[in-house]
Each structure stands twice: as C-alpha cells, then as structure tokens.
Homo-oligomer: A and B are copies of this chain.
Amino acid sequence: MKGFTSIQDVARLEDLLSLARSMKADPHQFTMLGRGKTLCMLFFNPSLRTRLSTQKAAQLLGMHVMVMNLNSDGWNIELEDGTTMNGSSKEHIKEAAGVVSRYCDIIGLRTFASLDDRDKDYEEVLMNKFIAHATVPVISLESATLHPLQSLADLMTIREQARTHRPKVVLTWAPHPKALPQAVANSFVQWMRASEVDLVITHPPGLELAPRFVEGLKVTHCQEEALEGADFVYAKNWSSYTDYGKSVAGWEDWMITEEKMTMTHNGKFMHCLPVRRNVVVSDAVLDGPQSIVLEQAHNRVYAAQAVLKMLLDEA
C-alpha cells in the first residue's frame, strides 16, 4: 500500500478485513512495529471519532502521534498554483506537504468538501495536491468525497453482525438541517460493491449520488420498498449532487423510526456518527437493541490499526 485514500488502494480486501479482525482480537500484538515511527495527523476541520480512533490505533502500534488543527494551530494554506500570495494564505500546500513529510513517517490528512465547486471536490484537489508533494504515505481521514477508514469499519461491522452470507444492506438518505458532503455515502457504496452484499440505495428524487458511484446499483425513491427485509439500514444525510451542495428540505419524514425498522428483517441500524437525534433517526431506534452505531465507532480503531500496519509493513 502506497497510501490509503480509497478502496482502490486495497490490493486484497479480505486480507485487510482479516487483519482488522485480528487487531480487535488482540490490539496489543504489534506494539513494537511502529516504534520510533511518527504519525502526523493534520485536520482542516473538526473531528472526534477519526482523531481519537486513529491516534489510539497508532499508539497501539507503538507509534508517536502528532496532531495539528491546521487552520487554528497553523494558518491558511494556499491551494492554487501560480498565484501571487499577497492575501490571507501564508503557506502553499507544496511547502506544507513537503515539510510535514520530513517530520513523520505517515501523514493522516483530513480535508473537506467545498460543497460549492463540484468538479474540484470530486477531483479531490486538496488531497491529491497534498499527496503529490508529500514524500511519505498519506492516509485519508476523510476527504471531499470519500471516507475509507469509516467504510472499512462499517464493512467490518456488517461482517461481524451478518446472519446470512449475503445480507441485504440499505443505504438510506436521511434528513439533516445543514448541507453535508456525500463522502460517507460514496465511500460506503464503494466498499459494499466490493463485498458480498445485496445493496439497495434509497433517497428522495433529486438526491441522486454521483453516477460513477451508483451506476448499475439498485436505487429507489421509495424508502419503504428499500427497507423491506433489510438486514442493515445505513442512514446518512447528503446534500444534492446535481444542484451541487444544496440541502433539500421537505423530506423530514425520511427519518428512521421504530415503525420503519419493523419493515426490516430485524435489521440493524447503522450511522457513522455524529448523528442528530430525532432528525436523522428517532431516540427509540438509536437507544434500542437494533442500533450498532457504537460498534461501528469501536471498529474505527481496528480499521485504522490494520491500515497503519499495512503501511508500516511496506515502509
């Protein structure tokens, strides 16, 4: 593995999943592997789960960890080439990436979606520019359009909880008061495609995901039809791809409730967190036995540990 920014960086998915499971069984089995090695995590926007789980994972492998909130601990980073930098940006991403590479062995980078310029977001300009100028492997801690560490943990959780060889997995759009990126949804679809699941995507009209991610998949505007017999219900809000970055109101009844969960095959409720209660999902579902959101969050540690181990092995 040269880095980890999407499922395309994974040569053998089953090996990675098996490694993650092994990490969970014995998190302390490789405490010497990362000795003397440093992970530097750089955040362009806030994070709780990703930050703590990845830091924990690296420390379990014996690594040192340095964390920086780029825009508050540091300063604005210029992303454009050829500009005359006489405005608010104090450092170009070329130097930032080049310098940080010299201070650590692996970089974890959290970028963000502008939700404004779709092409730029989907070209992952910030992540790719950083990687182009970095000289050590880069792990995505979520980018503009993908969140692979989350998806790996999600898939790991589905495998743990599945009662059948080929579970029915529903990805359902959910309401939210603010416009959110499509990253978690896109990434989840990528990882589900690579696994043995019966994936159904459901969302209101106008909230189609990017064609490159969903083509060939089952998509319906009828949430009830989708939920029918589901083993797993993954709820997530995303803003519009076509009317890019706009939030769409008027679909409050897409919230996941106990009543809806009764349509499933005693399905498990999943969400990447943070989740807005009684907007995305009702208290009753989240606090009930069908919710496995904390297991997903828990598996973030082992997903990160598996990815870090793979990178350390090849370093």
Q: Which residues of A contact B (CB under 8 A)?
A: 28, 31, 36, 38, 40, 43, 46-49, 51-53, 55-56, 59-60, 64, 66, 68-70, 72-75, 78, 81-87, 89-92, 94-96, 98-100, 102-104, 177, 273-279, 283, 286-287, 293-294, 297-298, 301
Contacts and interface: CB of A to CB of B under 8 A. Distances in A.
Main secondary structure, interface of A, reads mixed
Contact of A278 (B38, B55, B83, B293): B83
Contacts of A274: 75, 90-91, 95
Given A36-B60, A294-B102, A82 B52 contact: no
Contacts of A55: 66
10 contacts: A46-B72, A47-B73, A47-B74, A52-B68, A78-B277, A85-B279, A86-B279, A95-B273, A95-B293, A103-B301
Contacts of A85: 276-279
Nearest to A87: B177
Nearest to A294: B98
Nearest to A48: B74
Contacts of A72: 46, 69, 72
Given A85-B277, A279-B86, A74 B46 contact: yes
Contacts of A74: 46-48
B53 A64 contact: no
B56 A298 contact: no
B59 A38 contact: yes
A89 B91 CA distance: 31
A3 to B, nearest CB: 20
A70 B274 CA distance: 13
B177 A86 contact: yes
A102 B60 contact: no
Given A47-B74, A99-B297, A301-B102, A277 B52 contact: no
B283 A103 contact: no
Interface centre among A31, A68, A277 (most CB of B within 10 A): A277
A82 B283 contact: yes
A38 B64 contact: no
A52 B28 contact: no
Given A56-B104, A102-B298, 16 more contacts: A48-B75, A48-B91, A51-B68, A52-B66, A59-B64, A82-B283, A90-B276, A91-B274, A92-B277, A95-B275, A95-B294, A99-B294, A99-B297, A102-B297, A102-B301, A103-B301
